[in-house]
Amino acid sequence: MKFISKDIQEYEPCLKAMEQAVDDIKHGHDNDQIWLLEHPPLYTAGTSADASDLLKPQFPVFETGRGGEYTYHGPGQRVAYVMMDLKKQMQTPDIKKYIWMLETWIIRTLGEFDVKGERRAGRVGIWVVMSDGTEAKIAAIGVRIRHWIAFHGISINLNPDLSHFGGIVPCGISDHGVTSLHALAQKITMNELDEALQNNFDYELLS
């Protein structure tokens, strides 16, 4: 089931709805779900967040049970929450393979817009090489697993205010910057990004 929101969605109600969805999937009351949405400006702290990486909390900060460190969400960034029963979708549930699937989903989606997204050892998320040879993060990944049901998910920067990332050390990485599709001169719409995300989501990557 896919849910696509054209409106800004507050974070806490979404988190509660995800928790309920996980419970419903666990008890067989619902199937896997994907939600595509935007949040108002905010920071979230993963289970590995270091308080010293919260540099300037100009927006609300939410503690969350997902993996990872601090990240930013805000308008112009597409968040994709994926609630998936890994026991049903994989012969042997494997968190690393699930993360690899999410990375591949992002890479293929960016590729539709001639943006080469890449993995980097020791760095979470998807990265691009800028014209000056530096590297910048364009997409983030943060998941949580409960009873082998995955939730939380990914975010891709379409055209957020990149200065808002300055309030944190994104994902604990201070040596590299953050970019977006629009900053890379790909002036696509959110609808076009949503379509690419839907076209490139592939359960076969888990087999």
Structure tokens at 31: 């199937």
Residue 176, pLDDT score = 84
Please say whether the beta carbons of 8 and 39 come within 8 A.
yes
Q: Which residues pair with 146 in a beta bridge?
A: 149
Catalytic residue of the set 171, 173, 184, 197: 171
CATH class of 2-206: alpha beta
Q: How far is CA 34 from CA 4, 83, 117, 120, 139, in A?
A: 8, 6, 22, 26, 17
Q: For 11-94, where are the E strands, in sequence order?
A: 33-38, 42-45, 61-63, 70-73, 77-85
At 144-199, the pLDDT tens digits run: 999 999 999 999 999 999 999 999 988 777 778 999 999 999 999 999 999 999 99
Whether 171 is catalytic? yes
